[in-house]
């Protein structure tokens, strides 16, 4: 098994891999994840996959380059030489919060497919949260810094493990990060759309959130 389903089921969400392993583990889904990969400064991989992933090499620094030494006592041969690796080859990369959210939603979209037609399109969240695409629909948050800050805050708080939240609790937690003197940056009402997402079209707002229980002020994040 490879792809998004593998990552969500088998990998810790903050795990870091070299690009070769990301391509191996994600397969055809690698292209969707690549824009969200974040370099883990100062870390290199300890093992590198061979062609097809059937062989793994221990990574060792050898002068000004890295060398892949066969694991389990493997020996070098003309058919399977020890690979000479560059700094880019061994660099470690981690999937960011926005990428985790995008892949989670992409996986959910695949699960609701009927035949070859998806119920909804793929979702892509830009790393700066300024643009969110749901299928062919573009949600522009470039002029809504509070909305972007809120989406980032909720996604990081949930860490991909949940979707529902209460307005009052989330508002208190969101405002607490600003502290005294920065009150103008906070969230001042119990109305999410009319405050943080003021001016955003209702259809776009509905693509981002479900109202699960309006009376109790409970919402479900879609992205």
> Regarding predicted confidence, which is higher, 80 or 187?
187
> Regarding predicted confidence, which is higher, 127 or 165?
165
Q: Taking residues 135-157, report their average pLDDT.
A: 86
| Whole-angstrom distance, CA of residue 186 vs CA of residue 176 | 9
Task: Tell me phi and psi for residue 182, to 5 degrees.
Answer: -120, 30
**How high is the pLDDT of residue 74?**
52
- Percent of the chain at pLDDT above 70? 81
Residue 140 CB-half CA count within 13 A:
3
**How high is the pLDDT of residue 140?**
92
Among 53-62, 128-137, 168-177, 207-216, the minimum mean pLDDT is found in 53-62
* Strands of the chain, DSSP E: 16-18, 37-44, 47-49, 56-62, 65-70, 84-85, 91-95, 123-125, 131-134, 137-140, 164-166, 209-213, 218-221
With H, G, I as helix, E, B as strand and everything else as coil, classify residue 175: helix
pLDDT of 89 higher than 80: yes
Q: Which residues on adjacent β-strands are paired with residue 69?
A: 58
- Token duo for residue 87: 């700094």
Q: Per-domain residue ranges for the chain?
A: 4-95, 97-221
Provide the pLDDT confidence category of residue 6 given band limits of 50, 70 and 90. Answer: confident
């Amino acid at each position: 098994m490879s792809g998004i389903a593998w990552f969500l089921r088998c990998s810790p969400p903050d795990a870091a891999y070299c690009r070769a392993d990301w391509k191996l583990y994600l397969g055809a889904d690698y292209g969707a994840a690549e824009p969200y990969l974040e370099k883990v400064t100062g870390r290199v991989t300890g093992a590198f996959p061979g062609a097809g992933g059937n062989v793994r090499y221990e990574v060792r620094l050898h002068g000004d380059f890295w060398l892949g030494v066969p694991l389990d006592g493997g020996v070098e041969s003309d058919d399977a030489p020890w690979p000479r690796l560059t700094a880019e080859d061994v660099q470690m990369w981690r999937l960011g919060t926005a990428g985790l959210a995008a892949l989670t939603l992409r996986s959910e979209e695949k699960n609701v497919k009927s035949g070859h037609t998806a119920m909804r399109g793929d979702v892509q969240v830009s790393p700066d949260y300024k643009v969110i695409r749901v299928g062919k629909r573009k949600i522009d948050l470039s002029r809504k810094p509070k909305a972007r800050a809120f989406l980032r805050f909720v996604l990081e708080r949930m860490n991909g493990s949940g979707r529902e939240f209460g307005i009052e609790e989330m508002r208190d937690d969101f405002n607490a990060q600003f502290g005294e003197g920065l009150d103008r940056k906070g969230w001042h009402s119990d109305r999410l759309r009319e405050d943080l997402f003021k001016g955003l079209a209702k259809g776009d707002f509905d693509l981002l959130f479900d109202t699960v229980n309006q009376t109790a002020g409970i919402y479900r994040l879609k992205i």
